Chain A
Amino acid sequence: MALLEVHDIHAGYGKMEILHGVTLKVEPGQIVSIIGPNGAGKSTVFKTIFGLLPVQQGRVLFAGEEVTNRSPEVLLRRGMTFVPQGRNVFPLMTVEENLLLGAYIRKRSPELLAEVERVYETFPILREKRKDRAGDLSGGQQQMLEMGRSLLLQPRLILLDEPTLGLAPLVFKEIFRIIEGLRKRGQTILMVEQNAAKALEISDYAYVLELGKNRYEGSGEAIRNDGRVKRLYLGR
């Protein structure tokens, strides 16, 4: 059974429909990428799945259960986390407070603190900066903080929106190394990435969106080598 199934969803902002029927599927343990030109509705897909935008038509199933139009809190409890694009930290709170708020839906407990400890093991830099204000971190560190936050509560699926947006090339490589490390652990990830070539390299499966609709799909390898996709989106 697929972990996430999105059936023909229509959604958008107010009366403006952005998604005109998007369908996708994520199997457990996979990295699945969504690529497409600007305005294809990639980020909108995430916001809609995560309950930040209403689904006007269509269905979302998570682990076989209907979660269409459920609140972010419900999705978090079922084991889905979302890392929105941009620097989405609480800038005035410390790194540690940021992490603990990632587990906001759960009471503070020894187990939770152990999970925070695990995140620090994954991202040693966060442990070092735990008492610093999150807003003072570099762009890459903020991205790591957000990824660390999303790993709390041991999610079954992470939605990762543009994890390398606006980062320097060196940091970019670092983030991809982290994503590959997560995959080795068996973490399931659905991601949108503006560097499509690099994303496809590590993806098991990929969907190409255009103007709010599915255009092509296939294994990461197949999409990367597809002549039409290459010409249109990969700029080669």
Chain B
Amino acid sequence: MRGWRALGLLGGGAILLLFPLFLEQYKLYLASLTLVYLILAIGLNLTLGYAGQISLAHAGFMSFGSYAVAILGPLGVPFEGGIIVGTAIAFLWGLVLGFPALKVKHHYLAMVTLGFNIIVFLVLRNWESLTGGSFGISGIGRPHWGPLRFLSDRAYYYYILGWATLVVASAYWILHSRWGRAFRAIRENEMRAEVVGVSLRNYKLMAFAIGSAYAGIGGALFAPLLTYIDPGAFTLDRSIQFLMMVVMGGLGRFEGPFIGAVVVTLLPELLRASEGFYLIIFSLAVILMMLFMPKGLVAAWDWMVCRLTRRTVSPAHPPPPPEPAAVLEPE
């Protein structure tokens, strides 16, 4: 199993590094966009998938990152400074929104976060002196480190890839630390999590705030990709798109956002050939997937991995031995 994982990681890394060398501009853009969405989906998977708190405000949190780099860039702040500021704002607002999330759940939390996304949208549209209102901000610069500039689409792709790697690694670390265990514990059984000493309040707040911070990073990388942003890019529609990625990929599974981000970004493009029908076909595909794979596309992935490894690595499980009675021996 370990060998397979290392092989997959190497292969995936090689593809991500080499493939873009042969892509034309539009496809390169799609590849970059998929990576940005991956970062956002990983954040939402943390909040929703692992800690079980629905958020329809992900696009709102994303906008903090986008506007931070767009506004600070012209003031001479280095690009990474903009990312940090945007991420910090998203983190703090995530913390603020985390408080109502302690009190309300499910549909009600969906309504609360939906409201937040609408408020963010309205503020972005109406605070013209800062955000440029509905005209947005154009000519957003791309990062450069001294003589090293990430101006071309290809160079910027690699810049995004670097951040995506960082985000994936940090998410992996979080989920395999005590925190990750606490997140999973809360999602599976709140009562029991509390009984074993997990502080529900702290972890729920952190899950919301960290998930939102990732949205901030994604947003910051998103703005220079298009070099133009306006409030219309951060509506509820986009929040729902992230929700779709996480749910379709597989909630609470590490592989989920990878699958979700790729499918939701690239499937509509593949269907473009069908002209005006592509949205209909895409929506139909989503409905069918949810009907037949309610655990997400990761279920299909599991099935594949299972077949591959069972054939080549381990033999079928031996039948379990009969149950002995659990009798307590006095010491």
> Which residues of A come within 8 Å of B, CB atoms?
50, 52, 71-73, 76-77, 81-84, 88-93, 97, 101-105, 121-126, 128, 144, 149, 174, 177-178, 180-182, 184-185
Contacts and interface: CB of A to CB of B under 8 A. Distances in A.
A56 B194 CA distance: 20
B330 interface: yes
B181 interface: yes
B256 to A, nearest CB: 14
B195 interface: yes
Contacts of A91: 188-189
B197 A105 contact: yes
B192 A88 contact: yes
Contacts of A105: 196-197
B189 A104 contact: no
A144 B325 CA distance: 12
Nearest to B327: A177
B189 A90 contact: yes
Given A104-B197, A105-B197, A185-B330, A90 B323 contact: no
Interface of B: 178, 181-182, 184-185, 188-189, 191-199, 320-321, 323-331
A144 B178 CA distance: 25
B188 A185 contact: no
Q: Which of A52, A81, A90 has the most B CB atoms < 10 Å from its CB?
A: A90
Nearest to A75: B197
Task: Give chain A's interface secondary structure class.
Answer: helix
19 contacts: A52-B194, A71-B199, A77-B197, A81-B195, A84-B191, A88-B191, A89-B189, A90-B193, A92-B188, A93-B185, A101-B181, A104-B182, A104-B196, A104-B198, A105-B196, A124-B326, A125-B324, A128-B323, A184-B330
**Residues of B contacting A: mostly:** loop
A53 to B, nearest CB: 11
A121 to B, nearest CB: 8
A181 B330 contact: yes
Contact of A104 (B181, B188, B326, B328): B181
Contact of B195 (A88, A92, A125, A177): A88
A81 B194 CA distance: 11
B188 A82 contact: no
A9 B267 CA distance: 61
Contacts of B192: 84, 88-90
B330 A93 contact: no
Contacts of A185: 330-331
A182 B198 CA distance: 26
Contacts of A52: 194-195
A190 to B, nearest CB: 15
B197 A174 contact: no
Contacts of A71: 199
A103 to B, nearest CB: 8
Contacts of B325: 174
Contacts of A76: 196-197
A207 to B, nearest CB: 22
A50 B192 CA distance: 12
A124 B325 CA distance: 8
Contacts of A104: 178, 181-182, 185, 196-198
B321 A128 contact: yes
B191 A178 contact: no
A92 B189 CA distance: 10
Given A88-B189, A104-B178, A128-B324, 13 more contacts: A82-B195, A89-B192, A90-B184, A90-B185, A91-B188, A101-B193, A105-B196, A121-B329, A124-B324, A128-B321, A128-B323, A178-B328, A181-B329
A72 B194 contact: yes
Nearest to B323: A125
B302 to A, nearest CB: 14
Contacts of B198: 104
A210 to B, nearest CB: 26
Contact of B188 (A72, A83, A93, A177): A93
Given A91-B188, A93-B188, A125-B323, A149 B196 contact: yes
Contact of B326 (A77, A101, A144, A182): A144
Contacts of B323: 125, 128
B284 to A, nearest CB: 31
Given A72-B197, A104-B181, A182 B324 contact: no
A-B pairs, top 9 by smallest CB distance, nearest first, are: A181-B328, A105-B197, A90-B188, A73-B197, A184-B330, A88-B192, A125-B326, A76-B197, A104-B196
Contacts of A88: 189, 191-192, 195
B196 A101 contact: yes
A147 to B, nearest CB: 10
A72 B189 contact: no
